[in-house]
Each structure stands twice: as C-alpha cells, then as structure tokens.
Structure 1
Amino acid sequence: MNITRKILIVGGGYAGFYTAWKLERKLRPGEADITLVDPRPYMTYQPFLPEVVAGSIEARHAAVSLRRHLRRTHVVAGTVTAIDHEHRVVTVQPAIGDSFERSYDLIVVTAGAVTRKFPVPGIAEQAIGLKHVEEAVAIRDRLLTAFDQAATLPPGPQRQRLLTVTFVGGGFSGVEGFGELLSLATALLKRYPELDREELRFHLVEASGRILPEVTDKPGRWVVRSLEKRGAKVHLNTQVTSAVGGHVVLSTGEEFDSELIVWTAGNGANPVISRHTDLPVDGRGLIVVRPDLRVGTDDEPVPDAWAAGDDAAVPDLASPVPGARTVPNAQHAYRQGKLLARNIAASLHGKKPKKYLHHSLGSIATLGLGRGIFQYRGIVITGLPAWLMHRGYHVLAVPSWERKSRVLAIWLTAALFGRDILSLASVQRPRDAFVSGGDPAAHAGRE
C-alpha cells in the first residue's frame, strides 16, 4: 500500500521554488502531497532587481509566478510564524483572517534571510530596501519623480536634495543597484535640459574598507575608481549615524540632504527561524544542517527535516577553511534547491542522499548599462565583455523558457529604442485622481 507523504516547504525563494519545481518531476503523482507557504505569489529573481531599478527589465519579468509553474504543488499565501517539528505542525498567518495550523510529515525550511537593519535614527522612516520587486520599482519611480520635480525648481537646497541619492551597503546588491541607478540618472540628463550634471550627487556608504567582498582587493578598487569617474562618491570605513527627515549624517562628519536612501547593508537571520522553532539553530540564528542538507548533525540528526538557502548553515565542502559555511547568495540557493529535491526523492525511495559540493563559478556584477566586472580566481574581466557575460549568465539561469523569452525581448527592445523612462509612482496611491476630481487643492490637502 502506497502512503502519500505530506511535504511542507517554508518559503518560495530560490531554494524553496526549485525544491518544489524539481520534486514535481522526481516524484510520481500521488507519491507526495507538496505544499509551499509564502506570503508572495512569486519567486523573486534577485539578480535582475538592479536592472529593474534601471528600467532595463520589466518588473514582472524579474518574478516567477508560483501558481503558474508549480502545477502539482498547493501554494498557500501566508507566512509561517512558528515551526513545531516535534508535533509536525506549523502555524500559518495569512494576510487576511486568523492564523491556522498545517500538519506535515516532512518539512523543508527555505524561508530565506531578511534585510539586516541597524537602529540608525531615521532609517526605518526614510530608507527603501532592495530585496523585492516592489522595492526596485519604488526606487526607480522615486528617482524619475525627483527628476520631474527638480526640473521645475530653481537651483538651491530643495532641488539639490531631489537630485541626491544615497546607498548604504557595498555588497553585490548595493553596488549593482547603485551602478545601475547611476547609469539611469546619467542617461536621464539628456531628457532634462533644465538640470546640470554637476547637480547630480550619488553617495555609496560602506562601513568596511572595501566594497564587493566576494572579489579580491584589486578588482574591488577598480570598481571604486570606475564609479568615481562617473561622478559618484564612495565613502569607505564610514557609517550612517542619522537619516532623520532625509538629512544624512556620516560618521566622518559629512552631512547632506538626500531624497532617496536605499539600505542594502546585508542580510539578517529570519526571526521565525532564529526564535520560533524547535529545530536546531546556531549562534547566528541559522538552521544547523548536514552536508546532505538534512537538519541536524551526524551525531544528532533530526528526522524528516531539511533546510537550505540563506536561513541554513550549509557546510562548504569546497572551501579549504575547516568549518566554513556557504555564503548566502543566489548561486548556492539555486543549486541547493535542486539538490534538496533530488535528496528528498532519494530518501523516499530508500536511496542515500548526496552531499552538497559546489565550486564557485566566479563573481560577476553589473555596474550599469555596458559596464560590469567578472572574476574567477586570478582572471578578471571588466567593462562591456563582463556586462555581456552577466546578461548571458542570468538569462540562462532564470527559470523557465517563458521568462527567458520575455527578458530577451525586453533587452532587444531597449537596444533598439532605449530604456523606458516612464514613472508610475502614482500607482502607489491609485485613488488620488478619483478622490480629488482634478482639484489641485484637494490633492495638496492629502500631501
């Protein structure tokens, strides 16, 4: 007699999506009942977010619909707020309605990390993250709206504030988003003869002495020089101490007003994983896993529990450093998700799971239209070739031929006609025009 196993996947990011997607192909119909719980109805392909910021990719094309591509998986729109593995049950909080419990036989924890925030005055009220599609769209629309507003003002402090952008965090997300937005802003000046290039101020603030820790020192310094040649200012060994009301104060004593502040200062432990589960967690708030992605250790394994991605402390067998863990990036989460599916299927079929071993393919980043950097060990490629490599790699990596085709079509269209510079910031308040009835006084009263 065949028994249908209930598999519950917590999180629909890279690792969670690929686990469900590949399990559907590796398990026979009726062999397992797969459920995926995530508050968003899509997986965000995060490497495309900087290009969404720059208008090089349509926002929807940086996301992959869960319901469209997971045809044998039950998708639950909600957030897992607690995991009680002893009793094989999770608590789910939907967007609307009361929380409820969901039982399972086997759990896969791929909830992902959250944006790491520090108690800097004003940041919670002023800054935007760069982890989700909505944030990338908001950043782009804020910049385009600021250009429109600045073009109607005379030179002065208010206009300067509108044309000042601050990114906090010099990792891949921050540097790529910064470079792409700088590329967009520079291109916009051609359409705004009222504005001068010298009025555009872009600040990248990094607490350590270098940016892009995934590459070595020399390429990192090249990126700094490249950004500064384009008019940006990179603040190393510097922290933001206040951003109240958009007035940025740096630890060096420098101060300036900034209309747009983007916070990309790394990832933090998911609070559900670090505080609301009985699964073993390490000192950083990450789930302890074995090399085969099963939860626990060789001495104390946890049955029926698997984990991967940014919320798991996955041993890095490719590293020469004893006890090293894989870094939280898309390259690992994507491959760990696929191995999770293979290992879960193998365990259900009485076979031995395989250990996760992945040698890095190198680091690659876009720095704006036609600009990029790639490093693989001692090989470093910069400029247009690296940018083309970046696009080629990610169009191959984004899941499904449907998404690949849409992204390629947008890139080809942009090559012919240029990027779209239309701002749709008003969609964030869609009822304004209806409520005001075209009365400027009514609109001003809601500002």
Structure 2
Amino acid sequence: MGGGYAGFYTAWKLEKKLRPDEAEITIIDPRPYMTYQPFLPEVAAGSIEARHATVSLRSHLRRTTVLAATVTSIEHATKTVTVTPNEGADFTLGYDIIVVTAGAVTRTFPIPGLTEEAIGMKHVEEAVAIRDRLLTGFDRASALPPGPERSRLLTVTVVGGGFSGVEGFAELLSLATALLKSYPELRFSELSFHLVEANSRILPEVTDRPGAWVVRSLEERGAQIHLNSQLLSAEGGHVVLSSGEEFDSHLIVWTAGNAANPTVATHTDLPVDARGSVIVRADLQVGTDDAPVPDAWAAGDDAAVPDLAAPVAGARTVPNAQHAVRQGKRLAKNIAATIRGERTKDYVHHSLGVVATLGIGRGIFQYRGIVITGFIAWVMHRGYHVLAVPTWERKVRVLLVWLTAVLFGRDIVSLASVQHPRDAFVGGGVPRRAPGAALGVAPVERETADAR
C-alpha cells in the first residue's frame, strides 16, 4: 500500500530477493511513479526537469503488479483491502502479507483562502505549478507600470520553516534573482519574498547557530523572515499574519507539516497511535514485542518506527527520505526472511547528518558539531542526492540536466498554459481573458484549485 520511498524500495528489493515462485507482489498507488521529494525545490526553481524527479513504477518493478488506485480501507482480520481505482468501481483485494507504506499527507488548517490560493510542495505537479506561477508573475509584471498590481505579481510567500519550506523558498529566491537579467523592466528592489514560520526558529533539524545563520543568509539576499508568526488569512491572495503584517501575494506555498494518511489513521483495524501512525516493532512488523500482528508490516512516514540509534528511550525515527529508503530495504529483507522461516533483524540507522540547498552555489550541512556552509555544502547536497535517487538511469538524467544548466543557464519558459490545454483549440488561438479585461491590458487570472 503506497509507492513512495518505502513502498518502492520494499517492492524493488523483494523482486531481487524472492524467486518468482515464492511470492506475487502487488503495489497500489494512485500515481504511477515514486517522487524523489528532496528534488522538488530544484524542480520548482527549474534546476531539474520535473520527470527526472520521479521514478516510474512500471519501468523498474518488472515483476510487480502495479495498480493505479488508492487503498481506502484495510481489514486485516479478513486480510482484505478496499481498493478505489482512478477509474471504475471499488473492489476488494485479498492478500497474504500487507506492507503499509502509504506515507503522510499535507497538513492544512481551516484558514480562510488557504485551500483556494495556496499550493503545496509534496508532489512534482505542485513543484511545476509553483515554478510556472512564479514565471508567469514575472511575465505579467514586466508589462505593467510600477504600482500595487506589479508588486503583487512579484511577491512570494512560503509558509513553513522546515526543510521543504526553507529549501523551496531559497531556490525560488535564487531563481527570481537570476530572472532579473532577462527582465530589464524589473528591479531587484521590487522583489518581495516572505518566509512565515510559527516557531521562533527555522530548520528544527539543525542546531540553533546554523539555523540562525540560514536566517541571516536569506535576509542578506533580500528575504523577509517572519518568525513567531502564523498565517491568519489568504483570501484573494491577501496575506494576513498574526504579527499584524498584511500584503498581497501572487504565489503562496504551504509547507507547514504533514498529517497522518486518513486511511491508516481511521480506516484500518491495525493498531495505530494517537497521531494516526501504524505501531510497529523495531523489525518493522506491525504491533509490539508483546503483541505482534502476523503478516503485517509498515515503514516510512505512516509508521511509528522505534529509533534504536537515538539516545532517548522511546524515540521514533523522523519522517524523512533517509529513513524511508533504508526502512524499505530492511523491510524487504525481513519479509523474505519470514517467508523462508528465518529470523528478522531490527532496523537501526545512525544519522548521516542533514544537508540543505539554499539556492545555486549555497547550502548548509551539519553532522553533530560539524557545520559546513556555502558552496561546499551545496556540492555535498547535490552529490548526496544524485547518489541517493534510485536507478542509474535517473542519476544520469539529473547529472546531464545540471551540466546543461551550467553551460546554458536555467530554462525560464513558463508552461502554465498546459493547465488549460484546450483553450487554443476552442478559442481559435486567442488566449483566455479575465471577465471585463480591457483591450491591451494583460489580465490577471487566478487558477482554480482544480487546475492547481
């Protein structure tokens, strides 16, 4: 259940460890690919081609049945799941062993205008939409005289100061700064970039001093960092913060945390904790040492995995790619061992440190007390992730895109029109216009939530 990091790696490694006559493997996910989420900030900034941040399930899982569908309920007592396909009626599927790797979903709050105006950054489609919206804003602003509407089009707001938010924010700022060379009508002083974080610091995965350095680095590049601030409203693109600040923003990106997958949290008879995560033992079998659940396993963001490498008793592994990939590999080994009547092993992983990109040529790395910033950290970030992304085919494609960018720069073409592919066909080549727009004035269209 789920084709993300943990699910993909579990199936991929099971294909290599099990003979065809030992097991039939089925993976169920509404998307036909695994998204390598650490690349999404660079997809949003145009440093990586969108398709290269994904791995096709069908191309690489040759012995696995891939179902483009969603598991909407799990009844382990009867070993069945309810499957809702992307097209067609629901059906029930039986199994012998279930692996729950459905991941988490974007956490939202009942903030006015949030779901209508904001874009998340958890899927590659969202990263592409963010990039196109930023580029479209530049195109429209360049045709307008200085004023409120031009300022709105050049204003970007990112809510959430975790790794996803900070990396996405920094990459977008880097892209926007580079774009000014191609837009002589616009000035650097007109760019308005806002990072909103509810806590008193950003990047909770690093210690205080490196986190403060990141804030200073972003501010020196013209960013505005709003700490201890919450988003109160985003209606009509008008941002209202708890600090009392208000401004209009053409692009609003929401990265303020994850929530439990609703199927795992409320539609299963497997044991879950208060947060809606599946309770697992150290070897990734569902249950506890005293009450294990036979033939059920879980890993990744939807599992409460004991962190045996943590100094604090009872700690759980943090939900990131570093753990999910390694849990998937361990999970495959343990399932194969169980099928063959062998003993399983506990999942133990000591952190390799944290690394983040802050735009081209800028980054930060921390391993315990060792902190590296700047160009070297940025190279380390790219080196680590090109090694971590699965399959040599994807590694080569990403490297070639990076090399092309060094030689020719980023591609700054917006393809936002793909959200309305029939406009040229239906309208005879005439672009869509906002109702009441005057001739000769570029209309400001707001994409619908469905289009995003």
Determine if the TM-score, normalized by the shorter chain, exceeds 0.5: yes
Distance 2:65 2:269 in 1: 25
In structure 2, which of residues 314, 329, 345 is the aligned counterpart of residue 323 of structure 1? 314
1:18-417 aligned at under 5 Å gives the runs: 18-417=9-408
Q: Deviation of residue 445 (structure 1)? A: 5.4
Gaps of 5+ in 1: 1-9
* Counterpart secondary structure, 1:57: coil
Q: Is the 8 A contact 1:432 1:443 kept in 2?
A: no
In structure 2, which of residues 415, 418, 441 is the aligned counterpart of residue 427 of structure 1? 418
Aligned length: 437
Q: Deviation of residue 196 (structure 1)? A: 1.1
Distance 1:292 1:266 in 2: 27
Q: Deviation of residue 30 (structure 1)? A: 1.6
Q: Deviation of residue 444 (structure 1)? A: 4.4
Q: Is the 8 A contact 2:357 2:381 kept in 1?
A: yes
Distance 1:361 1:217 in 2: 19
| 1:17 alignment partner in structure 2 | 8
Q: Deviation of residue 29 (structure 1)? A: 1.2
What letter is aligned with 2:94?
S
Distance 2:197 2:406 in 1: 33
Q: Is the 8 A contact 1:166 1:261 kept in 2?
A: yes
RMSD over aligned CA atoms reads: 0.9
Distance 1:98 1:383 in 2: 53
Provide TM-score, normalisation by structure 1.
Answer: 0.97
| 1:5 alignment partner in structure 2 | none
Q: Is the 8 A contact 2:272 2:278 kept in 1?
A: yes
Provide TM-score, normalisation by structure 2.
Answer: 0.96
Q: Is the 8 A contact 2:152 2:249 kept in 1?
A: yes
Distance 2:414 2:235 in 1: 26
Distance 2:241 2:143 in 1: 30
The structure 1 segments of at least 4 consecutive aligned residues displaced by more than 4 Å after TM superposition are 442-447
* Counterpart secondary structure, 2:358: strand
Gaps of 5+ in 2: 437-444, 446-452
Q: Deviation of residue 96 (structure 1)? A: 1.3
What letter is aligned with 1:211?
I
1:34-86 deviation digits (Å, cap 9, x = unpaired): 00000000000000001101101000000000000000000000000000000
1:278-333 deviation digits (Å, cap 9, x = unpaired): 00000010000000000000111100000000000000001111110000000000
Distance 1:304 1:170 in 2: 39
* Counterpart secondary structure, 1:21: helix
Distance 1:77 1:236 in 2: 41
